[in-house]
């Protein structure tokens, strides 16, 4: 007898014991993926097997999956305390639930879940259920252990997105090809004027897909497609997609989506409340997981090597472009794709975003070296200063002020602090030294799958820092016609403060 047959037989016997049940599901923990996945469902429309739930993201997971206690609820109030998706459950007409852990020894491997629309789960009914599970213990444990555990990062992220959607009261998230979609699925389809959108609802997801790209994209995803052709247009396919996804009272749009594609969606959902994916998927991207942090650390290691290669190439007569090329070659040698190399010598260092050119480096030039690359989908970003032969007049003082501003900002970083407080810490040091008018930009920006992404460390940002957030700290002083100094670190918010990713000192460097 296979797993499905065992779960189905248990379902029939549970119904006989209870007398009524709206929904019966069997869920199994996939700890490696951080998911609880459904192995059996009595209603595939309301609770499909393809929709997984994150582990340890709400009170229910802690109570049932971690503590191994039964969860019994007979009112909406009891639901809402534990379930992030309680409103969706109540829409099924269910206000009574029994979730019973299944253990293999002392380890919870999954749960039996029953929702009832007619009767409460009284102590007698719960006792009868527990007795039934005890009789099935050996068969049930073996069947649950045999359920394939093949969770992936994209599946886990999709589950987390659905949790966030439920918490935010959002029914549909629409994503264009770009960073949001790469984070969620691991790839991004070809983007042009044809609408190609990922549409994610609570229990279904898929792509509005131009037919000419469908076969190629199919190699990267098993999501359903709603295809359309150039000779018919996307309207009918979008109508079919929205019908399958269900009612949409609130919609989040990818903030990078083309305006014409966004208007097409808004016209199709004229009554829906509108917001941006920054508040749902972007909210998740703000907090990097362990794998993301590992990728960022690797990129920072490579960026340190590229800075060292750039410094080694400094000499009188070399051009900014040649120094940039030294950094780019070092990036490529480590398998990273160079994304930007801002090299500004002498007076050019006073331009924060100088366009690297053919300016020749002279003795006494201060050189700003702001470089970054991308590997495994994540970015590096580091700025260090160098001087050719000797430091120009006044440079040592300005360098010391900027470094003190970096130190003040890093010292201000900890969970619970607002981003604008970190900006104020850096800006306060520079202003107190008399250079406030020459610090002309924000203190930092987030780094991840984009080189500039939230959180932004500005004087007006009320973002509250949390562990896992990653951003630059890069104050600067720019003295027109003389030189500029910018020093940049990437910081990761930890439980007690921050970690900086670079191991390259910020002290003055003279080549």
pLDDT of residue 80: 66
Give the whole-angstrom CA distance, residue 371 versus residue 307.
8
CA distance readout (Å), 361 to 110, 201, 306, 349, 472: 66, 56, 19, 11, 28
Q: What is the 3-state secondary structure (H, E, C) of 262-300?
A: HHHHHHHCCCCEEEEHHHCHHHHHCCCCHHHHHHHHHHH
**3-145: CATH, from 3.30.450.40, 3.40.50.2300, 3.20.20.70, 3.90.79.10:** 3.30.450.40
Instruction: Measure the CA–CA gap between 50 and 269, rounded to whole angstroms.
Output: 26
Provide CB contacts within 8 A for 353, sequence distance 6+: 342
The b/e string for 483-510 (b: 16+ C-beta within 10 A; e otherwise) is: bbbbbbbbbbbeeeebeebbebebebbe
Cβ proximity of 379 and 447 under 8 Å: yes
Which parts of the chain sit beneath pLDDT 50?
Answer: none
DSSP class of 364? T
If one counts every other C-beta atom within 10 angstroms of the C-beta of residue 69, the result is: 14
Q: DSSP alpha helices (H): ranges in 136-222? A: 137-145, 153-168, 179-185, 211-217
Q: SS3 for 420?
A: helix
Spatial distance between the Cα atoms of 255 and 285, rounded to a whole number of angstroms: 14
**What are the extents of the domains in the chain?**
3-145, 153-284, 290-500
How far is the C-alpha of 421 from the C-alpha of 444, rounded, in Å? Answer: 12
What is the rounded distance in angstroms from the CA atom of residue 256 to the CA atom of residue 22?
A: 42
Could you tell me the two tokens for 351? 């331009």
Residue 226 CA to residue 248 CA, distance in Å, equals: 18
From the list 74, 177, 170, the residue with the least C-alpha distance to 126 is: 74
At residue 187, the pLDDT reads 93
Question: Residue 97 in contact with residue 113, Cβ under 8 Å?
Answer: yes
Cα(39)–Cα(7) distance, rounded to whole angstroms? 8
- How many C-beta neighbours within 10 Å does residue 366 have? 28
Question: CA-to-CA distance for 248 and 52, rounded, in angstroms?
Answer: 21
Structural class in CATH, domain 290-500: alpha beta
**Which residues are CB-neighbours of 394 under 8 A, at least 6 positions away?**
479, 482
Q: Which CATH superfamily is domain 153-284 in?
A: Creatinase/prolidase N-terminal domain (3.40.350.10)
Strands 250-253 and 172-175: parallel
pLDDT at res. 92: 63
pTM here is: 0.85
């Amino acid at each position: 007898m296979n797993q499905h047959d065992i779960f189905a037989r248990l379902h029939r016997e549970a119904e006989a014991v209870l007398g009524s049940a709206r929904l019966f599901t069997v869920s199994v923990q996939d700890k490696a993926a951080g998911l609880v996945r459904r192995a059996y469902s009595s209603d595939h429309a309301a609770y499909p097997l393809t929709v997984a739930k994150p582990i340890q993201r709400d009170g229910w997971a802690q109570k049932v999956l971690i503590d191994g206690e039964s969860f019994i609820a007979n009112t909406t109030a009891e639901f809402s305390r534990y379930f992030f998706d309680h409103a969706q459950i109540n829409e099924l007409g269910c206000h009574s639930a029994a979730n019973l852990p299944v253990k293999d020894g002392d380890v919870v491997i999954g749960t039996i879940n029953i929702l009832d629309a007619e009767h409460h789960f009284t102590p007698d009914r719960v006792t009868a259920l527990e007795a039934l599970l005890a009789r099935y213990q050996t068969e049930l444990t073996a069947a649950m252990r045999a359920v394939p555990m093949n969770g992936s990062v994209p599946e886990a992220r999709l589950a987390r997105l659905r949790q966030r959607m439920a918490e935010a009261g959002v029914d549909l998230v629409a994503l264009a090809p770009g960073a949001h979609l790469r984070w969620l699925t691991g790839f991004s389809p070809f983007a042009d004027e044809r609408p190609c959108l990922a549409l994610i609802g609570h229990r279904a997801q898929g792509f509005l897909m131009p037919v000419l790209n469908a076969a190629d994209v199919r190699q990267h995803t098993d999501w359903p497609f709603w295809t359309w052709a150039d000779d018919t247009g996307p309207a009918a396919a979008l109508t079919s997609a929205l019908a399958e996804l269900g009612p949409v009272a609130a919609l989040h749009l990818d903030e990078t989506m083309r305006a014409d594609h966004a208007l097409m969606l808004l016209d199709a959902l004229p009554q829906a409340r509108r917001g941006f994916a920054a508040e749902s998927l972007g909210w998740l991207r703000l907090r990097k997981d362990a794998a993301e942090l590992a990728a960022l650390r690797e990129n920072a290691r490579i960026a340190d090597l590229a800075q060292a290669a750039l410094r080694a190439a400094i000499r009188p007569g070399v051009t900014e472009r040649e120094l940039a090329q030294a950094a780019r070659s070092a990036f490529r040698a480590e398998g990273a794709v160079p994304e930007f190399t801002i090299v500004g010598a002498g007076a050019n260092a006073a331009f924060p975003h100088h366009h690297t050119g053919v300016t020749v480096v002279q003795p006494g030039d201060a050189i700003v070296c702001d470089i970054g690359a991308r590997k495994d989908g994540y970015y590096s970003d580091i700025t260090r200063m160098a001087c050719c032969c000797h430091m120009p007049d006044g440079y040592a003082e300005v360098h010391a002020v900027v470094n003190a501003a970096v130190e003040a900002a890093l010292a201000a970083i900890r969970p619970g602090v607002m981003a604008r407080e970190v900006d104020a810490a850096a800006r306060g040091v520079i202003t107190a030294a008399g250079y406030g008018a020459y610090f002309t930009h924000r203190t930092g920006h987030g780094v991840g799958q984009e080189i500039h992404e939230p959180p932004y460390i500005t004087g007006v940002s009320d973002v509250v820092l949390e562990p896992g957030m990653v951003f630059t700290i890069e104050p600067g002083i720019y003295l027109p016609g003389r030189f500029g100094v910018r020093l940049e670190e990437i910081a990761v918010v930890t439980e007690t403060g921050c970690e900086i990713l670079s191991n390259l000192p910020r002290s003055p460097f003279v080549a």
